[in-house]
Structure 1
Amino acid sequence: MASSQLILILAVFVATSSLVFASDPSPLQDFCVADPNCTVKVNGVVCKDPKVVTVDDFFFSGLDKAGNTSNAVGSKVTAANVVQIPGLNTLGISLARIDYAPWGINPPHTHPRASEILTVLEGTLLVGFVSSNPENRLFTKVLYKGDAFVFPVGLIHFQQNIGYGPVVALAALSSQNPGVITIANAVFGSNPDIPANILAKAFQVDEATITKIQSKF
């Protein structure tokens, strides 16, 4: 009985420990500024020598500037993550500015390492996310200036400007490097291509349709 209880306690400890560490690493010092010149590969970025850290390692300028939305989807993401701000390393946060042309979209995508909270700074934005199988439930809402909306980690989500003027939104994410997987790009623009017969069966269309879509990516 005692050994069974011990195994149960250990199992609970392992499970809770996995939850605790299933996020960006926590800092064990005041800061761990990313050293982009280091060739050592770790789960994150190696710390720069604190003696050579400067105030600019914690600074980024440019989120006041509109992104160029002259593209196929009509949106532009300006990221402010550990690549742009080395001082974010180990802090588990990042930002992004998203600009949308009239009726532009931020296509369905996921962030594999972060939840997101998005705030509309200007305009009207339709947002939504889909829960996982088997429900695949769509949660969608129209946001106005000053509104905020949360996208849970890993779930497919999207935004669309449903007004006649530009929209600006600011997204905060719970990772220094949240990553992004744009669904259409990943499925139809992989390198090399996913075999057309597989996608044809998955999407229940003919192979010619799949090949035509792949040619656009």
Structure 2
Amino acid sequence: MILPIFFIFSLIFASSSAAAQDFCVGDLSRSYGPAGYSCKSPSKVTVNDFVFSGLGKAGNTSNIFKASVTPAFAAQFPGVNGLGLSMARMDLAVGGVVPMHSHPGGSKLLLVVQGSILAGFISSNNAVYYKTLYKGDTMVFPLGLLHFQINLGETAAVAFATFSSPSPGLQITSLSLFGNNLLTELVAKTTFVGKAEVERLKSVLGGTNSGVFV
């Protein structure tokens, strides 16, 4: 009786051990796919794959947005590959803005650690939720919804974001609309923004007027 029981437990242990995988450090030399990066060979994994030091340094806010976002996603931090989480640092100079954008691959939890940030999002039924956040405040932004952050304070602001994905993705609405090469007439028709304003926004955000109607 003891031998059959021992044999059964041996099979269970063997199958569970075979199925278990502690981590899947991303192999950045290979292409990113729907399931993330392929796993690096365990023999090539080092402790440095599980450490990222880039969030301790302020980003460069000398740009049109007066803002900087430093990601610690799978592409920068291969140890989070396959673990369902990642982080980023946000620096906002006075008057800085992270314009309306979305993360199609993950929800975001924002923690303000310096200054104050006006943050909000728009639900799929166009309800708006926004509030000024101060040091120690957190706000959650559900997956895929348009949201923004603005520094309306008198000092620089810093926040850290945690995502529910190692690669949450990013689409900035204004850049998607006016930083492209669609015909100005086409952008104007689909956005109900006047042609002259579309041309102005394209010039500011790097868009061109190339392309043809098909």
TM tier, shorter chain? 0.7 to 0.9
Q: Where do 5+ consecutive residues of structure 2 fail to align?
A: 1-18, 206-214
Mapped to 1, the partners of 2:91 and 2:147 lie a distance apart of 16
2:98 aligned to which of 93, 106, 114: 106
Give the 3 Å change call, closer, same or farther, for CA 40–212 of structure 1 in structure 2. Answer: closer
Q: For 2:88, give the aligned amino acid.
A: A
Give the 3 Å change call, closer, same or farther, for CA 176–41 of structure 1 in structure 2. Answer: closer
Q: For 1:47, give the aligned amino acid.
A: C
2:87 aligned to which of 80, 87, 95: 95
Counting only pairs closer than 5 Å after superposition, residues 54-133 of structure 1 correspond to structure 2 as 54-132=46-124
Counterpart residue number, 1:155: 145
Please list the CA deviations of residues 38-61 of structure 1 after superposition, one character each: whole Å capped at 9, or x if unmatched: 358563111111112110010111
Q: For 2:166, give the aligned amino acid.
A: Q
Counting only pairs closer than 5 Å after superposition, residues 1-217 of structure 1 correspond to structure 2 as 28-38=20-30, 43-132=35-124, 135-190=125-180, 193-217=181-205
TM-score normalised by structure 2 residue count: 0.83
Q: 1:160 Cα deviation (Å)?
A: 0.6
Mapped to 2, the partners of 1:125 and 1:162 lie a distance apart of 7
Secondary structure of 1:215's partner? helix
Mapped to 2, the partners of 1:156 and 1:39 lie a distance apart of 28
Mapped to 1, the partners of 2:38 and 2:193 lie a distance apart of 47
Please list the CA deviations of residues 121-150 of structure 1 after superposition, one character each: whole Å capped at 9, or x if unmatched: 011110000111xx3111001101000000
Mapped to 2, the partners of 1:40 and 1:101 lie a distance apart of 33
Q: For 1:215, give the aligned amino acid.
A: S
TM-score normalised by structure 1 residue count: 0.81
Please list the CA deviations of residues 56-89 of structure 1 after superposition, one character each: whole Å capped at 9, or x if unmatched: 0101112121111111111100111111211111
Q: For 1:68, give the aligned amino acid.
A: N
Mapped to 2, the partners of 1:196 and 1:142 lie a distance apart of 36
Query: What do you get for the CA RMSD once the two structures are aligned?
Result: 1.7
Mapped to 2, the partners of 1:41 and 1:176 lie a distance apart of 12
Identity over the aligned pairs, expressed in percent?
A: 45
Mapped to 1, the partners of 2:30 and 2:191 lie a distance apart of 44
Q: Count residues with an aligned counterpart.
A: 187
CA contact (8 A) 2:54 2:72 kept: no
